[in-house]
Structure 1
Amino acid sequence: MKKLFLMISIIFLCGALMALNPLTTNGSGEEEPAGHNLLTFVVPFEAGGGTDIFGRFFTPYFSDQLEGNPLVQVENIPGGASITGTNEYAQAKPKDGSHLLTSSASSHIPYMLDQSSVDYDFKGMKPIIGSPMGGVVYSTPEKAEQFKEDLTSFEEPLYYAGISPSGLDLVTLLSYEVLDLNFHGVLGYGGRGPSRVAFEQGESNLDYQTTSAYNNNVKPLVENGTAEPLYSLGQIDENGNLVRDPQFPELPTVEEVYIDQYGEAPTGEVWEAYKQMVNAAYTLNKVIWVHEDAPVESIARLQDGAEGIKQDADFIENAEVVLEGYEVLTGDALQKQIDEAFNVSDSSKNLIQAYLLEKYDLDITEL
């Protein structure tokens, strides 16, 4: 109850900041307040979503920790599932260290898969701070029991309600392919909230939710006997192995489910593609960046501030709720994670592009 109260308080605080902070802009091009000590967080989504809350959560800590205690504003530039705002940041925002970008898996996956509408390159940016996120796949208790006994026994497909095969859903879809699960994906829902409602109303019997949504909205369904978790999507460790999500240590990974069902570890291109997508979408879920060609002293100032944020007692306490207890990454550890996450092999990229085209009639190179 205390955790829920704290989460609600922080979300209301973010809303209050949006309403009361005159520095918050909406990407309309209106004149910004004058000043030499102003930092702008570009968020390529509407205000109020997960990435927006993530960015706003960090703003007071950057103000506190950075030398000079700058004013910090958030500029929301929604559109194109984050691509519009990310493109604008890369191509049009000042490269003097005064503007930062808050990215998410919705920005990472199209970049990795060479989506044609992407006009940004994360190699031209310097990461400042990042954070993982997790996800859990669940079903009805009846289907979960059958899944655990023999996941190949489904004569009728399980129905999965999703948003887009080229977004965060891609990781979950690939997990089904690794397991050779008989499923039918119904895509086009407006968000993970509507997809969960579809499950609750019986329109689907297979769903996933990210950590926060699962804990707040699905665990009550598990407790009242209308849902049961199947596995977590997992995290990628420093050795490139899929491991259990630290926030769901009781749940098996896709690899463990596969071994239990088939008696051997998964191998092959689909398995490798799945692990690479987990790395880019969950182990590296959100990142705050600055232009790489910003002044060296500006980058150093931001990096020093990020290190200070990690040690801030108030941040540590509130991050347990907002960031769901996942450890934030900075410095060399963050750069190493990015290098590994975005290093998708040509074979995995080609496989995913072909998969999207064949199964969902989606040519990502033409989007």
Structure 2
Amino acid sequence: MAAGIVAAATQVATAQDFAGKTIDFTIPFSESGGSAQWANFFAPLLSKALPGGPTVVVRYRPGAGSTAGANWFQGEQDNASGLSIFGDSGSTKFPYLLGDPRVRYEYADWQPVLASATGGVVYLPPALGERFDGDMDDLKDEAYLYGSQGATTLDLVPLLAFRMLGLKVDPVFGVEGRGDGRLMFERGEANIDYQTSSAYIANVQPLVDNGSAVPIFTWGALNEAGEIVRDPTFPDMPSFKEVCEATEGCETSGVAWDAYKAFFVAGFANQKTIFLPKSAPAEVVNAYTAALNDIVTADGFKESANEVLGAYPQLTGAAAVEATKQATAITPEAKQYVLDWLKEDYGITME
């Protein structure tokens, strides 16, 4: 598959040659979640598309909701070799947006070369899932346990959505990745979960197929007008917006909705990004940009990506830079709403 995707690659940046080199592709999560699926999809394609055919190895640095790995990468900003790249997630962007004191990284110091959108699916055990009929009204009296990386990670989106729907969800904080949350669900230690699209396709669809999980809705996707619509990877599932509209007390306008949408954009519309250190010279950046552009425009890429990642945009070059700028900015009103909610519900303050 990989050979077919990069067969059409054009000659790139002859001044840059990675022959015989090993590139470390670091992601700040465990190897059981969606980021691992994403990174391991792109790593062999990059290996074939970059000049000289280097070995691209995915490294895992989980901890502190991904801020530990991101702080480590901040220390790589003087590394101009092009042999260290980093993949973030919404769990990395959210603490940055909220002013989390654990954050010692600065997105302005990083050079984005690929921006990937994704989606996510919420699912329940069969006994609860069979009661879902398009709204959550009949499921509000249940007590839910949810394995969470932390309220300021990518889990901010589901926790806020559950609150808006009026669900009584008790998060069990401290899991290292969404894959660990899924394992809690499989062991019966949690009775509500969500996974990003790539992890859902790989690890949850088999549970659905064998009758041990029931999907109920997706987070949706953004259309060209900036509106939340059904996820193109799961067009038969309602979006959170649809379920919210159908559920008593859940509103799709006002400050809560604005806050939800802001973090949905940062967490899903541009969820994962590949970065080089700021010190990487222009020829290195150009080599990566050309290689990634060749990958995502090659014949067969969309079909193979859909099978693993879902049907989402993969942006390179200037488009990746602009998408990253949008995903790492937030209005003061949305930020304050979330800060107030985190303090009220979880006792979390950004101090």
Using the size of structure 1 for normalisation, the TM-score is 0.78
The answer as to whether partners of 1:104 and 1:286 remain within 8 angstroms in 2 is: yes
Residues 194 and 104 of structure 1: CA distance in aligned 2, closer, same or farther (over 3 Å): closer
- C-alpha separation in 2, matches of 1:48 and 1:150: 31
Cα separation, partners in 2 of 1:125 and 1:156, compared to 1, 3 Å: same
Give the Å deviation of 1:305: 1.4
User: Please, which of 57, 65, 73 is the counterpart of residue 81 of structure 1?
Assistant: 65
Q: Residues 281-300 of structure 1: matches in 2 within 5 Å?
A: 281-300=267-286
| Alignment of 1:133 onto 2:131 | no
> SS of the residue aligned with 2:313?
coil
Count of paired positions: 333
Unaligned runs of 5+ in 1: 1-5, 7-33
Deviations, residues 243-273 of structure 1 (Å, cap 9, x unaligned): 1111110111122123334599611111111
Separation in 2 of the partners of 1:305 and 1:104? 21
Whether the 8 Å contact between 1:61 and 1:315 is mirrored in structure 2 is: no
Report the CA distance between 1:275 and its aligned residue: 1.1
Asked whether the equivalents of residues 189 and 195 of structure 1 are also in contact (C-alpha less than 8 Å), the reply is no
Counterpart CA distance in 2 for 1:64 and 1:294 is 20
2:147 is matched by which residue type in structure 1? G
2:214 to 211, 225, 228: 228
Secondary structure of the corresponding residue to residue 43 of structure 2: helix
Deviation of the 1:274 alpha carbon: 1.0
Match of 2:72, SS state, is helix
CA RMSD, Structure 1 to Structure 2 (Å):
3.2
State the shift of 1:66 in Å. Answer: 2.6
The range that moved more, 293-302 or 310-319, is 310-319
Displaced runs of 4 or more, over 6 A: none
For the Cα contact (< 8 Å) 1:39–1:70, is it kept in 2?
A: yes
CA distance in 1 between counterparts of 2:30 and 2:190 reads 28
Match of 2:324 among 338, 342, 345: 338
After superposition, what is the alpha-carbon deviation per residue over 1:322-364, rounded to whole angstroms, capped at 9, x for unaligned? 323433221233233222222211111121122112111222x
Higher helix share: 1
Q: Does 1:187 align with 2:172?
A: yes
Segments of structure 2 that go 5 or more residues without pairing to the other structure are 2-17
Within-5 A mapping of 1:153-232: 153=138, 156-163=141-148, 164-179=150-165, 181-188=166-173, 190=175, 191-196=177-182, 198-199=184-185, 203-223=189-209, 225-232=211-218
Matches within 5 A, 1:92-111: 92-98=76-82, 99-111=84-96
Q: How far did 1:59 drift?
A: 3.0
Counterparts of 2:140 and 2:115, CA distance in 1: 42
Counterpart pick for 2:45 among 61, 77, 85: 61
Task: Tell me how far apart the structure 2 counterparts of residues 221 and 362 of structure 1 sit (CA, whole Å).
Answer: 34
Alpha-carbon shift at residue 73 of structure 1 (Å): 4.2
Asked if the contact 1:161/1:189 (under 8 Å) is kept, the reply is no
Q: In the alignment, is the contact (CA less than 8 A) between 1:131 and 1:286 conserved in 2? A: yes
**8 Å contact from structure 2 (residues 76, 277) kept in 1:** no
Query: Following the alignment from structure 1 to structure 2, what is the Cα–Cα distance between the partners of residues 266 and 134?
Result: 19
Contact 2:164 2:250 in 1 (8 A): no
CA distance in 1, matches of 2:142, 2:153: 22
Please give the alpha-carbon distance, in whole angstroms, between the structure 2 residues aligned to 1:150 and 1:117. 37
Quick one: structure 1 residues 140 and 151, their matched pair in 2 at CA, closer, same or farther if it must change by over 3 Å?
same
Percent of pairs with identical residues:
34
Compute the displacement of 1:316 (Å): 4.8
TM-score, length basis structure 2: 0.81
